[in-house]
């Protein structure tokens, strides 16, 4: 058993969780002064738990939502323009490949198939990574812009 009185820290710990302080239980059981202190702390903690929770007298969610940007659908014109660009790109590539098909065939004849597969896989992987990264950056910037627009 501890002969000297317990420190405030030990008593607080005991008041918080009696089971975790086996070493001090014996002292507290036999020391009126420390027992009183522990009881005072226990009352204090109970009082703290029973304190009413603070709350605003206005609707916080409503106030915040008023300040957030309202999501607007993309104008139709903007979407059509994007599709036209994509279609034009595909058409030009297809036309070029079709027009120069003889040369393209000759070009690939001299390369081994494994090299072609590797090149295509590498290009596709790189493209996917770059496009994903670009898309993420785009979303982030648009999100920030939307907020500052207001």
Binding site for other proteins (CB under 8 A): 8-9, 12, 33, 36-37, 39-41, 43-51, 53-56, 58, 60-61, 63-65, 67-71, 139-140, 143-144, 147
Minimum Å gap between C-beta 42 and other proteins is: 10
Considering beta carbons, is residue 44 or 128 the nearer one to other proteins? 44
In the complex, least distance from residue 10 CB atom to other proteins, rounded to whole angstroms: 11
What is the rounded CA–CA span in Å between residue 150 and residue 148?
Answer: 5
Instruction: Name the minimum Å distance from CB 75 to other proteins.
Output: 15
CB 50, min distance to other proteins, A: 6
Alpha helices in the chain (DSSP H): 8-16, 22-30, 32-49, 60-67, 76-99, 101-109, 113-149
Residue 98 CB, shortest distance to other proteins, in Å, is 40
* Nearer of residues 76 and 114 to other proteins, judged by Cβ: 76
**Nearest residue (CB) to other proteins, 60 versus 114:** 60
- Burial-class residue 60 by CB neighbours within 10 Å (0-12, 13-18, 19+): exposed
Contact between 148 and 140 (Cβ < 8 Å): no
Rounded CA separation 110/117 (Å): 14
Closer to other proteins by Cβ: residue 71 or 113: 71
Please spell the DSSP secondary structure of 70-95, one letter per residue: PP-PPPHHHHHHHHHHHHHHHHHHHH
Instruction: Using the minimum distance from each CB to other proteins, give the nearer residue, 47 or 75.
Output: 47
Which residues neighbour 146 within 8 Å (Cβ) at sequence distance 6 or greater? 69
């Amino acid at each position: 058993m501890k002969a000297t009185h317990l420190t405030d820290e030990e008593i607080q710990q005991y008041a918080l969780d009696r089971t975790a302080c086996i070493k001090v239980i014996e002292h507290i059981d036999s020391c009126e002064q420390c027992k009183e202190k522990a009881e005072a702390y226990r009352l204090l903690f109970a009082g703290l738990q029973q304190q009413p929770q603070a709350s605003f007298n206005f609707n916080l969610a409503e106030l915040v939502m008023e300040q957030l940007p309202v999501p607007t659908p993309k104008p139709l014109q903007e979407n059509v323009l994007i599709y036209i660009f994509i279609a034009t790109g595909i058409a030009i590539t297809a036309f070029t490949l079709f027009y120069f098909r003889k040369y393209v065939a000759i070009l690939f004849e001299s390369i081994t198939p494994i090299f072609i597969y590797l090149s295509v896989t590498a290009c596709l992987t790189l493209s996917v990574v770059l496009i994903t990264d670009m898309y993420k950056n785009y979303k982030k910037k648009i999100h920030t812009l939307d907020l500052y627009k207001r």
